[in-house]
Structure 1
Amino acid sequence: MSPQEAEEEREDVTPAGPRLYEPINYDMKEDPENVWLLDLSNGERVAIRLMPDWAPNHVERIKTLTRQGFYDGVIFHRVIDGFMAQSGDPTGTGQGGSSLPDLEAEFNVMPHVRGTVSMARANEENSANSQFFIVFYPRFSLDKRYTNFGRVIDNIAAVDAINRGEPPQNPTRILQASLASDNVPPPATGTAPRVEPDITADMLSAPVDQ
């Protein structure tokens, strides 16, 4: 068997999964069920392509919480210039989560490039719950350590404009989260009401490692 034939055979038996440079569909009209919309208090709407092929359970969790209104009114509580913006904690402290069980990790080969949306977790790998972060610049040290489940496909400038701080003095807030398939219009100007789900001690999410 030649080296080329051996390589072709190896490729044939490689388990199915996301390719390293799997293309992202930036057309917001395509597959709207997997387009996540975040209406921010800076007056902008950000569109994120959810990738169930990469992390099906994490994408399903995002959709479930979104349709429950969980993210409406939640702040970006940890925003580090040159690194990432973290949100998804209804307490705004970085120690909160939802009342749903923690998720098993779905680490994949997709790199943490600019605009990546990934799940925050505590030290335990299977501790992701509701918190997520958006990467400002490539941070490949996070690859295969945090579950990458999506990418910003529209209005990355609005992500860049999220107020910095740990926590910020005047935090940027998610006024409303929705899925494009649900055709929810942007909220009227003003602050969305806070949603206060039950928080338990075993449903915490720690900051993302730098």
Structure 2
Amino acid sequence: MNNHKKIITSLFLMFTLTACCGGDAAIEKVNNFITKQAIDKADPAWKTKLDQPPLLGFTPGKDYFWELQTNQGNLTIKLLTESAPMHVSSTIYLTKLGFYDGLTFHRVIPGFMAQGGDPTGTGAGNPGYKYDGEFNDNFEGELGHNESGTLSMANAGPGTDGSQFFLTFKATPFLNGKHTVFGKVVTDLENSLTKIEALGSRSGKTSEEVKIIKASIRIANSKE
């Protein structure tokens, strides 16, 4: 009887783990790509020597969230898979690698935005690859820089998108068509954006370190 119970329990645990952790085609494709890379994390500069990931196909009816645990609180960001699929693909890839863990928001300007994601912490770094922005003629709603909590990609001009991103503190429509919006903050229970903004300055230098402790990806059924 005890052995029978153990078998049932083991099967239940296997099913539960499979249901909650696996089965998404986009995540599986990223994981397969990662396993084929020769990434030496013992190299201090590994975050600047990465290959560009493939464009992912996202599961209809699913929402993809970027969870950022920072030293100023936690943020949940809904990623825009339809309008910015390459940016979301790259973000998921880098997050699965642990790329963003430990990086800082090196530039925070009150009334404007907080910029992070630079592996060098200087504002000039990239993950080892660059790609084009993703734009269309519609900048209404979540597709534009129309409110605080907009997640957008920093760049140094056309074709230079990489890993650096910024989160806005207010609407910044003058950035539409110049920077790709690829997410929106949907949960900020600890007022993390406000706390981060308070540590910034006109020059962008922060009064204390603002750090990403851990970044992760969560997938959930769409609430449409």
Normalised by the size of structure 2, how large is the TM-score?
Answer: 0.63
User: Do structure 1's residue 158 and structure 2's residue 189 form an aligned pair?
Assistant: no
Paired residue type of 1:87: G
* Structure 2 unmatched ranges of 5 or more: 1-60
How far off its partner does 1:40 sit?
Answer: 0.3
**CA deviation vs aligned residue, 1:22-52 (integer Å, no higher than 9, x gap):** xxxxxxxx835x100000012x210000001
**Bigger helix fraction:** 2
Tell me the residue number matched to 1:12: none
Measure, in 1, the Cα distance between the counterparts of 2:165 and 2:93.
14
3-state SS of the aligned residue for 1:172?
coil
Measure, in 1, the Cα distance between the counterparts of 2:65 and 2:192.
16
User: Do structure 1's residue 41 and structure 2's residue 71 form an aligned pair?
Assistant: yes
Moved over 4 A (4+): none
**CA deviation vs aligned residue, 1:48-106 (integer Å, no higher than 9, x gap):** 0000111100110000000000000000000000000000002111111112x201110
Alignment partner for residue 62 of structure 1, among 81, 85, 91? 91
3-state SS of the aligned residue for 2:95?
helix
Contact 1:164-1:171 at 8 Å conserved across structures: no
How far off its partner does 1:181 sit?
Answer: 3.7
How far off its partner does 1:140 sit?
Answer: 0.4
Paired residue type of 2:80: M
User: Do structure 1's residue 97 and structure 2's residue 126 form an aligned pair?
Assistant: yes
User: Do structure 1's residue 119 and structure 2's residue 153 form an aligned pair?
Assistant: yes
* Structure 1 unmatched ranges of 5 or more: 1-29, 183-210
3-state SS of the aligned residue for 1:76?
coil
User: Do structure 1's residue 174 and structure 2's residue 212 form an aligned pair?
Assistant: yes
User: Do structure 1's residue 76 and structure 2's residue 114 form an aligned pair?
Assistant: no
Contact 1:55-1:149 at 8 Å conserved across structures: yes
Measure, in 1, the Cα distance between the counterparts of 2:94 and 2:144.
25
**CA deviation vs aligned residue, 1:127-149 (integer Å, no higher than 9, x gap):** 01000000100010001110000
Tell me the residue number matched to 1:140: 173
3-state SS of the aligned residue for 1:38?
strand
Measure, in 2, the Cα distance between the counterparts of 1:175 and 1:97.
19
Measure, in 1, the Cα distance between the counterparts of 2:81 and 2:66.
12
Aligned Cα root-mean-square deviation (Å): 1.7
Alignment partner for residue 135 of structure 2, among 99, 107, 118? 107
Measure, in 2, the Cα distance between the counterparts of 1:128 and 1:160.
26
Alignment partner for residue 31 of structure 1, among 54, 62, 70? 62
- RCO higher in 1 or 2 (8 Å CA, sep ≥ 6)? 1
**CA deviation vs aligned residue, 1:147-179 (integer Å, no higher than 9, x gap):** 000100000721121121422131210000001
Paired residue type of 1:91: T
Contact 1:115-1:135 at 8 Å conserved across structures: yes
Contact 1:119-1:132 at 8 Å conserved across structures: yes
Measure, in 1, the Cα distance between the counterparts of 2:122 and 2:62.
34
Tell me the residue number matched to 2:23: none
Which of 103-112 and 53-62 deviates more? 103-112
